[in-house]
Amino acid sequence: MFELDEAFIATSAALGDLPLSHVRLQDDARYPWIVLIPRRAGARELEDLDREDLAALTDEILAAGRAVRALGMSVDKLNVGALGNVTPQLHVHVVGRHVADPAWPGPVWGHSPALPYTPADLETVTAAAGAALGL
Amino acid sequence: MFELDEAFIATSAALGDLPLSHVRLQDDARYPWIVLIPRRAGARELEDLDREDLAALTDEILAAGRAVRALGMSVDKLNVGALGNVTPQLHVHVVGRHVADPAWPGPVWGHSPALPYTPADLETVTAAAGAALGL
């Protein structure tokens, strides 16, 4: 049975579930950033998903990209990454990057501690992201 | 018409072409690392590919992962990333990571200058990677 790794709970807010993935907003006000976690027990690598799940994940990555663009921050480039070196449960980051963001042009992962949203902003942004994803 | 960004030529060696992507070995002896560059003129984001190309890219990412594992270095985790902050032409990195590699557990991108293969090693590793990909 799929069980969400607790590491995601400390760093992100739940947006809901798409057909394959549990979807979360990364709690870092510096980047519009969505995390997709396929609800498949034991999955660590993309190769652990079957063909149908991989197609669903592709759709969900594109949808997350559209949602990231809908959050009102400037997005010059999307960054999509499946790393999992720290938290091995399979997950895909979809991050909107801007030429003036703190980590540009490097990756956001491991760059610097998150700057959490204020509670009011977190509520606004999770509502906007959820709406953009139809959740 | 698709034209490869010259930035890839300085940092990687050609392995050949899969149905969608031009495939290269990153010239960094510290990581088994393949780069897929979909041969679609003007593509910058995954959303610039149509459904059929996205399915082909998924297949090629899985094949690159298998090839990375076939290169004889220890792989504890695959890292897959489409960033493009520095070189915007759409490309996907598939990197084999090891808990004792220099950048672990952070991302390889932007971590430190590449350690190029010796000419003899580059020849051996490109041959092995090409064979693993059926190129």
> How far is it, in rounded angstroms, from Cα B92 to Cα B36?
5
Is B89 part of a structural domain of the chain?
yes
Task: Return the structure tokens found at B41.
Answer: 């003129």
The beta-carbon neighbor of A62 closest among B47, B86, B97 is: B47
Is A82 part of a structural domain of the chain?
yes
Instruction: Give chain B positions within 8 Å (CB) of A85.
Output: 77, 79, 97, 104-106
> How far is it, in rounded angstroms, from Cα A17 to Cα B25?
37
Q: Where are the beta strands (DSSP E) in B70-111?
A: 77-82, 92-97
Task: Quote the pLDDT of residue B54.
Answer: 98
Q: What is the pLDDT tens value at each position of chain B, 135 positions in all?
A: 999 999 999 999 999 999 999 999 999 999 999 999 999 999 999 999 999 999 999 999 999 999 999 998 999 999 999 999 999 999 999 999 999 999 999 999 999 999 999 999 999 999 999 999 999
CB atoms inside a 10 Å sphere around CB B47: 16
CATH label of the domain that carries residue A119: 3.30.428.10
Interface pTM, i.e. ipTM: 0.97
Quote the number of domains for chain A: 1
Give the residue on A whose Cα is nearest the Cα of B46.
A62
Buried b (16+ CB within 10 A) or exposed e, B49-80: beeebbbbbbbbbbbbbebbbbbebebebbbb
Is A102 part of a structural domain of the chain?
yes
Task: Quote the pLDDT of residue A97.
Answer: 98
pLDDT tens for each residue of B22-41: 999 999 999 999 999 999 99
- Could you list the residue range(s) of the whole structural domain that residue B51 is in? 7-125+127-131
- Nearest alpha carbon to residue B93 among B105, B108, B114: B108
DSSP tally for chain A: helices H, then strands E: 3, 5
Q: How many angstroms away from the CA of B27 is the closest CA of chain A?
A: 19
Low-confidence stretches of chain A (pLDDT < 70) are none
- Nearest alpha carbon to residue A18 among A59, A68, A79, A69: A59
| DSSP conformational letter for A40 | -
Task: Quote the pLDDT of residue B87.
Answer: 97
Is A47 part of a structural domain of the chain?
yes
Is A1 part of a structural domain of the chain?
no
- Nearest alpha carbon to residue B13 among B97, B116, B91: B116
Task: Quote the pLDDT of residue B72.
Answer: 87
Is B2 part of a structural domain of the chain?
no
Instruction: Give chain B positions within 8 Å (CB) of A113.
Output: none
To probe the interface with A, which of B80, B90, B92 has the most A CB atoms within 10 Å? B80
Task: Quote the pLDDT of residue B69.
Answer: 98
Handedness of CA A48, A79, B98, B30 (dihedral sign): positive
Instruction: Give chain B positions within 8 Å (CB) of A46.
Output: 58, 61-62, 65, 78, 80
Enumerate residues 6+ apart whose C-beta is below 8 A from B103: B97, B111, B112
Task: Quote the pLDDT of residue A91.
Answer: 98
Buried b (16+ CB within 10 A) or exposed e, B91-122: bbbbbbbeeebebbbbbbbbbeebeebeeeee
To probe the interface with B, which of A69, A77, A104 has the most B CB atoms within 10 Å? A77
Amino acid at residue number A82: A
> How far is it, in rounded angstroms, from Cα B22 to Cα A18?
32
